[in-house]
Amino acid sequence: MVLSPDLQFRLETNPTTRKRQIELFSPNDSYFTTYPISEQMYRLLQDICQCQPKWSDYATANNKEWLYELIYKGILYLTLEVPKSNRNQRLSDPPNMDMEGLKIKELQTKTTPTCMSSYLA
C-alpha cells in the first residue's frame, strides 16, 4: 500500500489554543476533494507513506473498511512494485483506535460540489 504521491498535508495551528487542523489535498488535481482529517488519520497516513506495508500484513478486520474507503477516494493505492522504503519497520494500529477519528469528510471542490460527488459513487 502506498499513499498517492500527488497528495500533501496542510497543518494549521492556533497559536493561542495550540489546536491543530489538518487537511489532505492535491495541489495539482482540481477534481481531488480536500479532506479534513484527524490527528490519528494524519499519523496513520504518514506511517503508511513511510513504511509502505503489504496489504496482507496491514489489513485487519478492524481497519479494512476505512482502508477500502481510502483506496476508493484515491488517497491510498495498491501496487505490485517493491517499495523503495524499508518494510522491516513495524507499522501497527494505534492504541485505543477511535474509529470516528478514521472517518474522512469531503469538502466541496471548485469543480465538483460535494453533493455531486456522492452521485458519482
Number of domains the chain is built from: 1
Query: What residues make up the domain containing 33?
Result: 2-89+99-119
Give the type of residue at 24: L
- Measured distance CA(118)–CA(64) in Å, rounded: 21
Task: Give the three cell numbers for residue 29.
Answer: 488535481
Count of CB atoms situated within 10 Å of the CB of 108: 13
Q: Rounded to two decimals, what is the model's pTM? A: 0.69
Does 42 reside within a domain? yes
Does 94 reside within a domain? no
pLDDT tens per residue across span 49-102? 999 999 988 999 988 998 999 999 999 999 987 666 554 444 555 445 555 666
Does 54 reside within a domain? yes
pLDDT tens per residue across span 42-61? 999 999 999 999 998 899 99
